[in-house]
Structure 1
Amino acid sequence: MNLDDYIRLVEQECGGYTSQITTLATQLYHYKAQYDEPDGTTNNNAILASTSQGVLITGAPGTGKTYVAQRLAHHLNITYHFLDGTQVFHTDEGQSERYLSSIFQALAKQLPAVLVIDNVEVICPAFPPLPSALVQRVYTRFLALLDAPLRHDNLHVYSRLPFILATTSDPRAMASSLLRTGRLDTTVTLGLSCALDRLAVLRIVSRDLPLGEPTERETTLHNV
């Protein structure tokens, strides 16, 4: 599957965000491509450290951040895991940190892989106010996992991380330390759609509805 086909697949399910989907899909596609050998097999040890490791998707509640992230990961046809930041925390001491570590360790054995993190600001809140001791420990562990040591050989420097697709409805509530090279080095915003974008969404959600012939269907959608 080439990049154009990948973008088209995602757009067929997530209409209205053409430029944003193109940006996100391009980053993910190039991440996966670093693993592909010329013969079509997968090189599980060869992701260049210079490749982007993560993107932050922002936007108001209901703009489709989580859905877009999941469809991008799904259509890339590689391993992906969904993590809700609100479900990371456990009452037993150390369990939250071990849970985070176990996810990264499992994905590191299945590279290339994508980790979709919903509500990332819950894991990495902005300071102040000073969070609880538990939140501080989880925050520290998460950054340590993102900053995992690089592996070197004679030719390249390699990363051991999955690609991170993180979402937040309130970027001001998130620690700015996440937004840097090697962590989440790109931000994409899903905003309120224009009329043409809303029409694209309507075409997608209504494609299985009996709205008559193509011309009648378009007339109906334009009048909604």
Structure 2
Amino acid sequence: MAELIVVRHGQARFGSAGAGGYDQLSDQGVAQSRLLGEVLRRAGLRPDRLITGSLTRQKDTLAHMGFDGAPEEHAGFDEYDFHDLLHQRFGGAVPDMVLRDRKAHFRTLRDTLGDWQAGGLAGARESWAQFAQRVEAARRHATRPGADCVLAVSSGGPIGRLVAACLDAPDAMMITLNLQVRNTSVTRFIFTGSGRFILNEFNAVPHFMTPDGAPLMTYS
């Protein structure tokens, strides 16, 4: 059996009104990525294939992890466009508190994702069904034959969707999983050539389980 390891990107810069501002690692995100790479290499991890989505924060996370090899890119590992979803919900005028306050942001995001999954936010650039389809396409791309260990860097939404789909859980479970995923956490799946895809580990952070690593842990 082969293994797909999906890492969430390092902490990004929070508070920008535009996706471009968020799509950059913070200094803490860089430190998280470097530490995870060191821990995984010490554990003997040698990926046969490296993959990221198209987002800068994902690519930079992999780069700072320090593995050799040219990564592939598959946009199915990209996050849903939460800026667009929030703009659709609020008619283009997202309240400043939602943009600037973390608690308000994530409370509002949870409700917005629920509306999106239920078929609301009809003007969004991507429907829930389209998001789910592209995450599945990314999974199929990553688990195609030819590698025993695949390392992918993605985001909380696709990771939540992969886990929920793997467990045949209701769509709403993706939201709960999504909002738990820690920056640079590790989620592992086992897959076979016959199509089996099994969750092995979710949201693990072995690199933060030390006195020096613990202060680096973040969720957004």
Same fold (TM over 0.5): no
Give 1 or 2 for the bigger CA radius of gyration: 1
TM-score (ref. length: structure 2): 0.32
TM-score (ref. length: structure 1): 0.31
